[in-house]
Amino acid sequence: MTGPRNWLTTALARLLAGIAIVVPAALLLGASPAAAHPMPHSVVRLDVYRTSVAARLELPADEFTRASGIDLTGATTATLPARAAAIRAYLVRHIHPVTARGRAWRVTVGALSLSRSRQTSTGSYRELTAQAVLAPPAGADVRHFTFDYDVIVHQVVTHVVLVTVRQDWAAGRVDGKGTTQVGTIELDTRHMTVPPLKVDLGAGSAWRGFVAMVGLGGNHILTGTDHLLFLLILLLPAPLAATGGRWNGLVGAGSALARIGRITLAFTVGHSVALAATAVGRLQIPSRPVEAFIAVSILVGAVHAIRPLFPGREAVVAGVFGLGHGMAFSFVLAEMHLSTGQLATSLLGFNLGIELVQLLLVCLALPSLLVLARLRPQPALRVTGAALTAVAALGWLADRLGLPNPVARTADSAGAHTTLLLAALALTALTAATWALAARLRTRTRPDIGPAARTPEPPLSRLPAGRGGRRPS
């Protein structure tokens, strides 16, 4: 009896021992190494230009130290230059883009910086950022190449590199927001090699670049609170007549429409000329003085809406200040490093987008401007709107002269609510148009007013004090 019992006991013991070994082994082999020891991945962000590709390398500093042997443990922004030469040499050795036929590209590594970053799975960590330029041989295609890259991953076998495209004019990616993933680079555990990534960005076209620039121009004027506010504040007193240094009375509807048209056209001509001259001439203009000039233009417009500074000459002022706004628009194109042909196409598309959205906004604001001028609380509403605009302009001016403040931040944040802005303008325009139509219908259907009695109402400026209600101030 003891033999079978010993045999059964031994068999059970061996089975349990096998399970104890096999199950943990299976779990360890089947689990992702990154799941057991989460570590941040690298990101390579590509900006594709006509004759080169700019790459922004975002590298976890600890993994970089482990792979390269260049100690960044105690490095700071101040001490990083001492290690810059070694870092650049290491990166150049491990970045090898080549054409489809195997011809090598030239790799140049530029600015380096250290900062803190965060990824969802790993939390906060130190990151080394490097800017590189990848230049193909003459005549080679920048849209199709092999990206042989093994920074960090050649030593840290669990490391993963995400390769994305941030800007690609020919593919219609021009806003610099968001990225499109091209692929990943990681160790092939079967062959213990790091396979190069085949980059295929498609054909691209000038038409896609043009359409994207139209959208970028429209979005720029719509989200550029300062540009929009300048135009609207100049249009605000357009239906009013100026006498004795005050806004006092109304001009006819035809005159008001003509003023609004001249102001809008002059602003368009001013910023279009400056945009074209600055972009085509590739002029390097410092942004801070231009941005401060724009804040001053808004402040002048706000004061003019309260008390007339240049009545009848609003179009001239709009054209002059429009030059500064056009220079600011050109900064967007300057950052894109476009070829001459791409620049010409982009200039046309970008300006067209600005004008289309500008025309839409003026059309939406027009009914409200005409109706507001005829309402009794018009002076109070106009002065309040102009005062708020002046406060925003002063906040922007201080911020652009190096004094950040909450007023500027609040004013800038208004550009993030474009849908709400358009909805409010559309609703106001509909309400104003309905009110004007109802007033006209009431006048026509009143039985006590015959055709001969319907004479035009004189402008408020001609009414003596005490008649027809208060005059606009």
* Residue the block writes with tokens 């540009």: 227
pLDDT of residue 454: 47
Are the beta carbons of 135 and 52 closer than 8 angstroms? yes
pTM of the predicted model as reported, rounded to 2 decimal places: 0.74
pLDDT surpassing 70 at residue 31: no
- Mean pLDDT of the region 411-430: 77
Q: What does the pLDDT read at residue 191?
A: 84
Q: What is the DSSP string of 106-174?
A: EEEEEEEEEEEEEETTTEEEEEEEEEEEEEPPTT--SSEEEEEE-TTTTTSTT-EEEEEEEEEGGGTB-
Residue carrying the six token digits 């939406």: 364
Q: Which pLDDT band holds residue 250 (cuts at 50, 70, 90)?
A: confident
Q: Distance (Å, rounded) from C-alpha 355 to C-alpha 214? A: 10
Range with the lowest mean pLDDT among 97-111, 195-209, 231-245, 420-434? 420-434
pLDDT-derived band at 389 (thresholds 50, 70, 90) equals very high
Mean per-residue pLDDT over the chain, rounded: 83
Could you give the dihedral angle defined by the CA atoms of residues 314, 316, 317 and 321, in that order, rounded to the nearest 10 degrees?
Answer: 140
Whole-angstrom Cα distance, residue 176 to residue 168? 9
Neighbouring C-beta atoms of residue 2, cutoff 10 Å: 6
For residue 391 the two structure tokens come to: 């406060």
The per-residue pLDDT for 436 is 73
pLDDT digits (tens, 9 = 90+) for 224-249: 888 888 888 988 888 888 888 888 88
Q: Which of 16-30, 85-99, 133-147, 372-386 has the lowest mean pLDDT?
A: 16-30
> pLDDT tens digit string along 295-325?
999 999 999 999 999 988 999 999 999 999 8
Mean pLDDT is highest, among 114-123, 128-137, 216-225, for: 128-137
**Is 5's pLDDT higher than 80?**
no
